Amino acid sequence: GCQGTTAVRGRLVWFRDDPFLTSSDEALVYVDDGLLVCHDGKIVAAGDHGRLVRDLPPGVTVESYRDKLILPGLVGSHAHYVQVRIIAEYGEELLDWLRDYVYPEERRFADASYARPIAALFCDELLRNGTTTAMVHCATSPQSVDALFEESVGRGMRLVAGKVLMDRKAPSDVLDSSPEQAYEESRKLIERWHGVGRSVYAVTPRFAYTCSSEMLRVAGALWREHPGTLLQTHLAENRWEVAKVAELFPPPRYRDYVDVYEKHGLLGPGAVFAHAVHLRKREWERLHHTGSGVSHCPTSNLFLGSGLFRMKRAARRSRRVPVGLGSDVAGGTSLSLLQTASEAYKVGALRGYPMDGVKLFYLATVGSATAMRLDHLVGSLEPGHEADFVVLDPAATPQLDARTADVDSVNDLLFSLAVMGDDRAVLATYLAGRLAHRRDACPGPLPV
Ligand code: GUN
Ligand code: ZN
């Protein structure tokens, strides 16, 4: 964490409540001339500059971002770092796309010297896009996990990642040789990385289609035996996938896709299911009752033609399921959670459920953090949270400047930033109170 105390001044934005259950006005916290004070990597105060500046210890320099927005670092709840080089491969749906593009690329991560620079690029790109925490699939090889955590620990990021588990329906060079070996390799990786720096290990069965029943049981055992680890996988992304899973895990023993995971002990708080596009009522209810989370990956669901996520079903008051945003690169086409939020808005519009600026940024911060059960640590500027935050520039481009110069409300400003923004809107990214990325590459503090 940062030594001593650091402070930044700007327009503070965070969320104190769930805007899908209350109202956006009630959920939003906004301090027009705010001060954020960090000590040893944590937020110790967030509020009015005039009030807080008097209590600053002597010698603390305030970095000033007067007309900029300071938000919690963005939190992505689903991505594949091993796929950054295959974004934008033309023309196929999920299962063919995996066969033709994904597996040939992921096999290359058996080579640590191939993995390391891509892991470095991925971490740098996250920070350039204002993402301070992400939940990430690696490849089958343990080296792919080492490479990512080496880079994320070096940068001080709270990153969640794990080795992909799969033992069927893919080329043998990307499969685990057995569930037993996959268990051993995962156990060693958990011991090597979980809790090192800010790293969190996620047990990562790829999806039910490429996992035998034994492999899914191994995933459940690893997750249970290592408290504090998370679990991530894919769920009901594509109609063909759903049909194949029903053939492999047929009814009546398995009632549906969610039941396959539940019968193997994979539902519960800290489990995050990517996509969840094609779910039935019973499945939403099981996700709710078990405290499982979902990652909404709109750029991917559109790019791969998977379908239109139903946020309204996830947000139903009687059975709220925590939902975050995921880039799902490389099914997804952008690492920017602003661009992801923009597509989430459009998918919502097509489903008759448009979301305002507060809801979109909530999904990209607290939403993801809550799905991952890390909301006590990240996703908020509330004192006690880790001091990961992002500085957004509403005038980053001529068009943004023209659009946002006279917006009526913070909610509208956030909406414009989500729909029009991308990495250019990210002026600076801070990890544990320290500058980790600055767009204009001018590292010194600005004059107050
Ligand atoms: N389902 C199983 N593996 C994958 C993957 O790598 N990407 C996406 N989008 N879906 C998957
Ligand atoms: Zn994915």
- Asked if 80 and 97 sit in the same domain, the reply is yes
Q: Whose CA is nearest to atom 8 of ligand 1?
A: 331
pLDDT of residue 280: 98
pLDDT of residue 54: 96
pLDDT of residue 107: 98
Rg (C-alpha) for the chain, rounded Å, is 21
- Asked if 50 and 113 sit in the same domain, the reply is no
- Asked if 320 and 398 sit in the same domain, the reply is no
- Range list of β-strands (E), 276-368: 293-296, 323-325
User: What is the rounded CA–CA span in Å between residue 96 and residue 230?
Assistant: 29
- Asked if 42 and 81 sit in the same domain, the reply is no
Taking the centre of ligand 2 as the mean of its atom positions, its distance from the CA of residue 421, in whole angstroms, is: 23
446 within a domain of the structure (yes/no): no
Atom number of ligand 1 nearest to Cα 209: 2
- Asked if 357 and 394 sit in the same domain, the reply is no
Band of pLDDT at residue 72, cut at 50, 70 and 90: very high
Taking the centre of ligand 2 as the mean of its atom positions, its distance from the CA of residue 84, in whole angstroms, is: 12
409 within a domain of the structure (yes/no): yes
Residue 330 has pLDDT above 70, yes or no: yes
* pLDDT, tens only, 37-47: 999 999 999 99
- Asked if 385 and 346 sit in the same domain, the reply is no
Atom number of ligand 1 nearest to Cα 297: 9
Atom number of ligand 1 nearest to Cα 300: 9
Band of pLDDT at residue 253, cut at 50, 70 and 90: very high
pLDDT of residue 4: 85
Q: Whose CA is nearest to atom 1 of ligand 1?
A: 234
Q: What percentage of residues in the chain have a pLDDT greater than 70?
A: 98
28 within a domain of the structure (yes/no): yes
Q: What is the CATH number of the domain that holds 327?
A: 3.20.20.140
H or E, element range at 435:
strand 434-438
Q: Which residues line ligand 1 (CB under 6 A)?
A: 80, 94, 98, 102, 206-207, 234, 237, 300, 328, 331
Taking the centre of ligand 2 as the mean of its atom positions, its distance from the CA of residue 285, in whole angstroms, is: 23
Q: What percentage of residues in the chain have a pLDDT greater than 90?
A: 97
Domain end marker among 315, 346, 371:
371
Residue 1 has pLDDT above 70, yes or no: no
pLDDT of residue 448: 59
Residue 443 has pLDDT above 60, yes or no: no
* pLDDT, tens only, 153-192: 999 999 999 999 999 999 999 999 999 999 999 999 999 9
DSSP output for 69-103:
EEEEPEEEEEEEGGGGGG-S--S--HHHHIIIIIH
- Domain range for 92: 74-371
The identity of residue 395, as a single letter, is: A
Tell how many helices (H) and how many strands (E) occur in the chain.
Answer: 18, 16
Domain end marker among 351, 371, 391:
371
User: What is the rounded CA–CA span in Å between residue 378 and residue 365?
Assistant: 8
- Asked if 309 and 170 sit in the same domain, the reply is yes
- Asked if 301 and 388 sit in the same domain, the reply is no
Domain end marker among 350, 371, 392:
371
Q: What is the CATH number of the domain that holds 65?
A: 2.30.40.10
- Asked if 25 and 100 sit in the same domain, the reply is no
Mean pLDDT of all residues in 117-128: 98
Taking the centre of ligand 2 as the mean of its atom positions, its distance from the CA of residue 18, in whole angstroms, is: 26
Would you say 103 and 171 are in contact if contact means Cβ atoms under 8 Å apart? yes
Would you say 324 and 77 are in contact if contact means Cβ atoms under 8 Å apart? yes
448 within a domain of the structure (yes/no): no
Pocket test for ligand 1, best of 237, 244, 306, 334 (most atoms within 8 A of CB): 237
Mean pLDDT of all residues in 124-152: 98
The identity of residue 314, as a single letter, is: A
- 């491969």: which residue's tokens? 89
- Count the domains in the chain: 2
* Burial class, 187, CB count within 10 angstroms (exposed 0-12 / middle 13-18 / buried 19+): middle
181 within a domain of the structure (yes/no): yes
Classify 280 as helix, strand or coil: coil
Would you say 356 and 418 are in contact if contact means Cβ atoms under 8 Å apart? no
User: What is the rounded CA–CA span in Å between residue 247 and residue 374?
Assistant: 35
121 within a domain of the structure (yes/no): yes
User: What is the rounded CA–CA span in Å between residue 17 and residue 362?
Assistant: 9
Residues in the chain: 448
- Asked if 403 and 281 sit in the same domain, the reply is no
Residue 444 has pLDDT above 70, yes or no: no
- Asked if 63 and 81 sit in the same domain, the reply is no
* pLDDT, tens only, 373-417: 999 999 999 999 999 999 999 999 999 999 999 999 999 999 999
443 within a domain of the structure (yes/no): no
pLDDT of residue 441: 59
pTM for this prediction: 0.97
- Asked if 253 and 215 sit in the same domain, the reply is yes
445 within a domain of the structure (yes/no): no
pLDDT of residue 2: 41
